Amino acid sequence: MGAILLAGFWAGMINVVVGSGTLVTFPVLLLFGYPPLTANISNNIGLVAGGLSGTWGYRKELAPNRTLILRLLPASTLGGLVGALLLLVLPASAFKTIVPALIILGLLMVAFGPALQRLSARRRPVTSAMTPTNEGPSRSAAGLLAGIFVLGIYGGYFGAAQGILLVGFMSIVTTIALQQINAVKNVLTTAVNGIAAITFIIVAGGHIDWKVTALIACGALLGGFFGARFGRTLPPAALRATIIVVGTAALAKMLLFP
């Protein structure tokens, strides 16, 4: 059980700084013989604690983007609900087959985000893709909401590297600073995991191993605090490099040790 606790701690740290903690805890649970559905659901519920502590740790970076968060939360939460329901009716391996491709896409978006942000900033005089115009929300705002909704579905279903995808996507379609994007990412992923957790508790309680959930939650809660303290000290270039390195390692693990 100590291994599960440590996996939860490490996953909590990674989720706050980067966003691929599920790739740590999920395989550990499978290694200990837990069924995939039980492992996925118990892991999802447990990692909510790390999201909460990590969000608290990033509260300073959240302050400038409260309006943006309030606009994105409904799309993210609805997507998480849809994804959680899909998990209960679709094969557990349905999304796992496309995870490597999604991670590569996310890493490319993170790597080329600065250049795309500069290009986007030259094309529009607003500070966020969610800034409304006199004619109503812009097409870029609608695209941002649609992307957040789709990533919410993915997060509610499986969630591996959801944070990497969110950071990469928002790096392209918004012009806010990377650390602030990371803070918003923590709120959105926590909302997705939270609504999925509530859904699982209500309609799939028989698939929850509460002992495993508690161990992951305790580890992730501490990991979220430490992850926030570490992540907030990183300069943008170092944070971007950390995301790319951890994401590449996660990708290699999935491809070499499926």
Q: What is the pLDDT along the chain (258 residues), one digit of tens a residue?
A: 788 999 999 999 988 988 778 878 888 898 888 888 898 889 999 999 999 999 999 999 999 999 999 999 999 999 999 988 988 887 756 656 776 777 787 778 777 766 766 665 565 544 444 544 333 345 678 889 999 999 999 888 877 778 888 988 998 888 888 899 999 999 999 999 999 999 999 988 888 999 999 999 999 999 999 999 998 888 878 888 888 887 788 778 777 766
Q: Which residues contact 110 (CB under 8 A, 6 or more apart)?
A: 164, 167, 168, 171, 240, 243, 244, 247
Q: Which two tokens stand for residue 227?
A: 């992850």
Q: Count each helix (H run) and each strand (E run) in the chain, helices first.
A: 11, 0
Taking the C-alpha atoms of residue 13 and residue 167, their distance in angstroms, rounded to an integer, is 16
Q: State residue 156's pLDDT score.
A: 87
Three-class SS of residue 136? strand
Nearest in space to 99 (alpha carbons), one of 142, 155, 146, 143:
155
Taking the C-alpha atoms of residue 219 and residue 7, their distance in angstroms, rounded to an integer, is 7
* Helix orientation angle between 162-173 and 99-123, rounded to the nearest 10 degrees: 20
Please check whether residue 200 is in contact with residue 44, taking contact to mean a CB–CB distance below 8 angstroms.
Answer: yes
Burial of 5 (0-12, 13-18, 19+ CB in 10 A): middle
